[in-house]
Amino acid sequence: MSKITFLGTASAVPNKFQQNTHFIVESNDHVILVDCTGNPVVRLEQAGIDPLSISDLFLTHFHPDHVSGVPLLLMDLWLMGRKKPLSIFGLTVVINRMEQMMQLFDWETWEELYPIEFHRLPNNEKMHIMNLADLQVFASAVDHMIPTMGFRMDLSDGSLCYSSDTAPSDAVVRLAKGADILIHEATGAGIGHSSAEQAGEIGQKAGVPNLVLVHYSSLDDAEDLVTRARTCFSGDVLAAYDLMTISFPYHPLT
């Protein structure tokens, strides 16, 4: 059974209830961490997920609230005795900057560091980035202030699409079509971001049955965001909260 665990759901400024947005997708033997902020090891412990089980790290874009935890995660996995490789996926510019960030920490001197496999992706639409019998992943460039990718995961028992940070984007509509769940940001209308209503519009255009709002301000009222998204979306809406889980196959309660 596949599962999503939200480790954080806040936009750029977190509080004691909401970390910055990052989450885990577990499916068969894949444990994928999407973005890496704060020190994810703490939330992983709270969620009961062994950090050493992470097989892949997806970095959607190089804003601090999405990548600042990378050095701590990589160091902690090393100190925990990780031996197996870690795959890191991101747009070419994101992986290049991540390597520069790690160089500031002299990571080439970390003895017997486990292998890290980089997957540098072009800034395209519907890139087929994982092609496994039980997991297909496609990524598309979305409309944020800097190069940013959203992605679609087709799991063995369901499918999800994540907008990442973006203004309303037809690329997300195309990516989300046929998915069970669209996870969409709801930071608020503005350059490179979307309101709850706009997230609803994108979900409606894509025809998905379920919309999950993330990356919203800790000052926002989650109920209000859901109500606003519903004005534009006829399916089921949730505002994700930290440590919320979604299991597949997904059957909304409402």
Using the rule CB under 5 A, which residue among 35, 143, 165, 201 binds Zn ion?
165
Q: Smaller CB distance to Zn ion: residue 3 or 63?
A: 63
Does position 184 bind Zn ion by CB under 5 A? no
Q: How far is the CB of 185 from Zn ion (least distance, A)?
A: 9
Q: How far is the CB of 167 from Zn ion (least distance, A)?
A: 11
Window of 56-64, 179-187, 193-201, 204-212 that interacts with Zn ion by CB under 5 A: 56-64
Q: Smaller CB distance to Zn ion: residue 165 or 201?
A: 165
Give how many residues touch Zn ion by CB under 5 A. Answer: 2
Q: Smaller CB distance to Zn ion: residue 56 or 165?
A: 165
Q: Smaller CB distance to Zn ion: residue 63 or 228?
A: 63
Q: How far is the CB of 139 from Zn ion (least distance, A)?
A: 16
DSSP assignment of the chain: --EEEEEE-B-SS--SS-PBSEEEEEETTEEEEE---S-HHHHHHHHT--GGG--EEEE----HHHHTTHHHHHHHHHHTT--S-EEEEEEHHHHHHHHHHHHHTTGGGSTTPPPEEEEEE-S-SSEEEEEETTEEEEEEE--SSS--EEEEEEETTEEEEE--S-SS-HHHHHHHTT-SEEEEE-S-SBTTB--HHHHHHHHHHHT-SEEEEESB-TTS-HHHHHHHHHTT--SEEEE--TT-EEESS-----
Using the rule CB under 5 A, which residue among 43, 63, 184, 228 binds Zn ion?
63
Q: How far is the CB of 148 from Zn ion (least distance, A)?
A: 7
Q: Smaller CB distance to Zn ion: residue 147 or 209?
A: 147
Q: How far is the CB of 236 from Zn ion (least distance, A)?
A: 26
Q: Please give the residue ranges that form the binding site for Zn ion (CB under 5 A).
A: 63, 165
